Amino acid sequence: MGTSAAKRGYHHGDLRNALIEAAAELAAKGGPESVTIRAAAREVGVTPTAAYRHFAGHEELLMAAKEQALGALREAMAEEVAARPRLADPVDNALVKLGAIGRGYITFARAEPGLFRTVFSPGGPVLPSPEDRTGTGPYVMLLDMLDELVEVGYLRQDRRPMAELAAWAMVHGLSALLDGPLRDLPEDVRDQAVMQCMIVLGHGLSGRGLTEEQEKLVTKGLAS
């Protein structure tokens, strides 16, 4: 994602997408506050007037950048899941996948703080509507993962409602802390915090706690 790429997109006649790419790059460097029509136009090499033919204002451009950032977050989570080998036991497999999507979320927040803040900037939806489960965004990934834990018998159906909010709060809270007051923690301590967060989440979802073997398995899965 670079200025030269944005300019190449424009020279091929696709100014709208070039502006979106430039906006996403601005967001990556400086967060949502840096996304403006004027700044994106400058990156692409056109006048603000030309940019306004495609976006009514910076809020509309920011929403497009937000969509790109959301896709990047989802990709980071999916990559963490794909990096883990599939386990024979369905419960163990689901628990490791849950840990992987949590780690992917936190890793993205640490690696791309500007894009992460853009995802959760005011305006525009982050969550799909209750009837829309056809997408592949981060929230839908979490919902599907918790449903899988119900299917394999780890998470009781009566404990399923709102479990996604509890899981999201824990992972997002740690992400915010690592981007704020805990940003100077040594790397190994950060990794331990991520692992402990996912272990505690796994204990809480079951209502009974992880077995010692499951705890070791989740720890090993996150370390690999």
Q: Please write the tens of the pLDDT for every residue from 55-104.
A: 988 899 999 999 999 999 999 999 999 999 999 999 999 999 999 999 99
**The pLDDT value given to residue 2:** 45
Q: How confident is the model at residue 45 (pLDDT cuts 50, 70, 90)?
A: very high
pLDDT at 221 over 60: yes
pLDDT at 127 over 80: no
**The pLDDT value given to residue 8:** 43
Lowest mean pLDDT among 52-56, 141-145, 192-196, 215-219: 215-219
| Helix orientation angle between 138-151 and 90-111, rounded to the nearest 10 degrees | 160
**The pLDDT value given to residue 224:** 60
Q: Is CATH 3.40.190.10 what the domain over 70-223 is classified as, yes or no?
A: no
pLDDT at 207 over 60: yes
pTM of the model: 0.85
Asked whether the domain spanning 70-223 has the same topology as the one spanning 3-56, the reply is no
Q: Render pLDDT for 136-194 as a digit per residue (tens, 0 to 9).
A: 789 999 999 999 999 999 999 999 999 999 999 999 999 999 988 998 999 999 999 99
pLDDT at 4 over 90: no
pLDDT at 9 over 60: no
Average pLDDT, the chain: 87
pLDDT at 7 over 70: no
**The pLDDT value given to residue 135:** 67
How would DSSP label each residue in 162-222? THHHHHHHHHHHHHHHHTTTTTTS-HHHHHHHHHHHHHHHHHHHHSS---HHHHHHHHHHH
What is the domain partition of the chain in residue ranges?
A: 3-56, 70-223
The encoded tokens of residue 14 equal 């696709």
SS3 at position 155: coil
**The pLDDT value given to residue 98:** 95
The class (CATH top level) of 3-56 is mainly alpha
pLDDT at 109 over 70: yes
**The pLDDT value given to residue 20:** 94
Lowest mean pLDDT among 1-15, 98-112, 122-136: 1-15
Q: Are 7 and 45 contacting, i.e. CB atoms less than 8 angstroms apart?
A: yes
How many other CB atoms are found less than 10 A from the CB of residue 127?
13
Closest by CA to 175, choosing from 77, 87, 97, is 77
Cα Rg for the chain, rounded, in angstroms? 20
3-state helix/strand/coil string of 74-134: HHHHHHHHHCCCCCCCHHHHHHHHHHHHHHHHHHHHHHCHHHHHHHCCCCCCCCCCCCCCC
